[in-house]
Structure 1
Amino acid sequence: MSEPVETSEMVAFTKTVEVKSLSRAAAELRVPRATLSRRLARLEERLGMRLLRRTTRSLALTDAGELFYRHACIALEAVRQAEQSVRMTNDVVRGDLRVSVPPMMSASFNAAVCDFAACYPELRVHVHTSNQRADLLNGNYDVALRASSQIEPGLVARTLLRDPMISVASPDYLRARGTPQTHLDLKNHRCLLGFARGELAETHWPLTSGGKFKVEGAFYANDIELLCDAALRGLGIALLPHGLVSRHLKSSALVQVLDGAIGSGMQIALVYPERTYMKPQVRAFIDAIAAWARGKVDVDAE
């Protein structure tokens, strides 16, 4: 089976036919004349037939050349239309964008989404809030915001923020129940647990040294704000993002426990299906939310 014809070879051929000169065709395509000649030779070699009769003074199409020229023009026009369709879509972002986000997003994130929608009035934005992990591979969603370091095969993640997970408790709780010295001590404590993937109750916490250990829960919630409130009210020890509890640590309303023993890195990422062609509205949304995340980091650093 012969190799497929390359677009550059078809362009070289059609341009040569149109201008009736190798030198002029090479000049208009901005390639050396020798390069143009090689492309024409490769084209004829791939097809196994002569397309042009060349003399020192003229160029003429063979019968096969006339037939191939007509089809090559159709093929190249299709390529041009495909390219133009993408460029037009990029100029005016329109259609639908379906986004999945976890609940309790910040006011600044909500503002970023509203600003994005305002920038693209011809785009219909669908934002679905849920603790359950959206299935991005079945086509129901274009992009999702996730706080996770685990990405399924077939998906791409663009990390926006990184935030360590730390274990915290209120001073009142620790005065009443004591401060754990190792993770093994947690079997005598009340643990406030979340839901893995937003669906299944947690059964293990991570060790900073690697691996994980089993924990028994006294309180469960798939809302980290509620887990934080439970820790503030002295209900037990919770594993929460540092960014969520930092102000409570500064005010001493919460205290970090088992520092350096328990915890993991959490990444907040935009996740989308791995495709060669990305919808313009998806690319525009990713860029907008990435800009929001950069601004959030700058504000937090001040």
Structure 2
Amino acid sequence: MDNLNGLLAFVRAAQNESFAGAAERMGISASAVGKSVARLEEKLSVRLFNRSTRRISLTDEGQLFFERCQNIVAQLEEAEQELVRISAVPRGKLRITAPAIGYRILLPHLPEFRQRYPQVELDLDFSDRMVDVIDEGFDIAIRSGELSSSQMMSRRLGPFRFAIVGSPLYFAQHAAPQIPQHLQHHACLRYRFPGTGQWQEWATNSPSPPELPLALSSNNLESILQAALQGLGLAYVPEFIVRNYVASGELISVLEPHLKEGGKFSVVWPSSRHMLPKVRVFIDFLTEKQVLC
């Protein structure tokens, strides 16, 4: 243990270029830091620091030793923090943001999560706007598409497919499309991204995307789904939100062989060295439950 204390005192002194700075970080006196380093030098039979009345600097041998010891100290700290995280009881408010349709992904699994972790209070935000997770104080976000922020960590939840669907009422009056080009003869219910106002593409394997006659537009997928159920037209939506409606016959899926691969959902959280227990267990839970299956 004395060797570890000496290593820690040496690394902190090298990082701060000062025994006093190291002492402040370690919560001990500068004299204690100096003595620990001196004992280490005596044990190694080498001088690690050049000392003057104003500052300290690493010797060549000290620089070589510091490069190795810095990693050792970091690994010891991470091992200690990991043990603390494992033993800590998840508790407190957990703020989660997800797309508006995300409640269909999360809500079926939340009773089990609450049963496992009753001390975690869930604060849910379902919105299609692009939430700034860090500035707005969220712990976790469910996101689709590609992720680019270096300030965020992520774990993939799984892929999902899109479907083009219409109601039996709609198809009683319109022949079902057989190829993507037939869409230009149908009433289309289009989703508009809230942040940009752009239409969502209907991704088909057609070499030339067909024109999509607009019957209704909305920046909320739930309203698009309800419009399709009412027979107002065809909707292009994630397959998982219409799976039960297709199974029950309330909606009919068309052009399945002609649709490109869909998207993917990921759970993201602010990158930091320390992940709070409430965040860790929720991420592990989502991964375990395979929420998109």
Q: Quote the Cα distance in structure 2 between the aligned partners of 1:153 and 1:199.
A: 19
Measured against aligned partners, the alpha-carbon deviations of 1:74-103 in whole angstroms (never above 9, x if no partner) come to xx9999888656644542234442211334
TM-score (normalizing by structure 2): 0.63
1:156 to 2:158 alignment: no
Determine the structure 1 residue equivalent to 2:142: 145
Q: Quote the Cα distance in structure 1 between the aligned partners of 2:141 and 2:207.
A: 28
Q: How does 1:117-132 map to 2 (within 5 A)?
A: 117=114, 119-132=116-129
Q: How does 1:121-200 map to 2 (within 5 A)?
A: 121-138=118-135, 140-146=137-143, 148-154=144-150, 155-196=152-193, 200=197
1:44 to 2:41 alignment: no
- Secondary structure of 1:152's match? coil
- Secondary structure of 2:184's match? helix
Measured against aligned partners, the alpha-carbon deviations of 1:199-219 in whole angstroms (never above 9, x if no partner) come to 635253222479966644321
Q: How does 1:277-296 map to 2 (within 5 A)?
A: 277-293=274-290
Measured against aligned partners, the alpha-carbon deviations of 1:24-59 in whole angstroms (never above 9, x if no partner) come to xxxxxxxxxxxxx9xx65x9365369xxxxxxxxxx
TM-score (normalizing by structure 1): 0.61
Q: Quote the Cα distance in structure 2 between the aligned partners of 1:120 and 1:169.
A: 41
Q: Quote the Cα distance in structure 2 between the aligned partners of 1:259 and 1:79.
A: 51
Measured against aligned partners, the alpha-carbon deviations of 1:173-203 in whole angstroms (never above 9, x if no partner) come to 2342333344333333211112336763525
Question: How many Å apart are 1:239 and its aligned residue?
Answer: 0.8
- Gaps of at least 5 residues in structure 2 are 11-39, 52-71
Question: How many Å apart are 1:283 and its aligned residue?
Answer: 1.0
Instruction: Give the share of equivalent positions with the same residue, in percent.
Output: 25
- Gaps of at least 5 residues in structure 1 are 1-5, 14-36, 50-75, 298-302
1:237 to 2:234 alignment: yes
Letter in 1 for 2:138: Y
Match of 2:221 among 224, 228, 244: 224
Determine the structure 2 residue equivalent to 1:26: none
Change in Cα spacing, 1:81 to 1:287, as seen in structure 2 (3 Å) is closer
Question: How many Å apart are 1:108 and its aligned residue?
Answer: 8.1
Change in Cα spacing, 1:255 to 1:115, as seen in structure 2 (3 Å) is closer
Would the aligned equivalents of 1:112 and 1:288 in 2 still touch at CA under 8 Å? no
Q: Quote the Cα distance in structure 1 between the aligned partners of 2:263 and 2:223.
A: 19
Determine the structure 2 residue equivalent to 1:69: none
Would the aligned equivalents of 2:191 and 2:199 in 1 still touch at CA under 8 Å? yes
Q: How does 1:1-302 map to 2 (within 5 A)?
A: 10=7, 41=44, 44=46, 46-47=48-49, 87-90=83-86, 91-103=88-100, 105=102, 109-110=106-107, 112-117=109-114, 119-138=116-135, 140-146=137-143, 148-154=144-150, 155-196=152-193, 200-208=197-205, 215-293=212-290, 297=293
Letter in 2 for 1:204: E
Letter in 2 for 1:284: V
- Secondary structure of 1:291's match? helix
Would the aligned equivalents of 1:198 and 1:222 in 2 still touch at CA under 8 Å? no
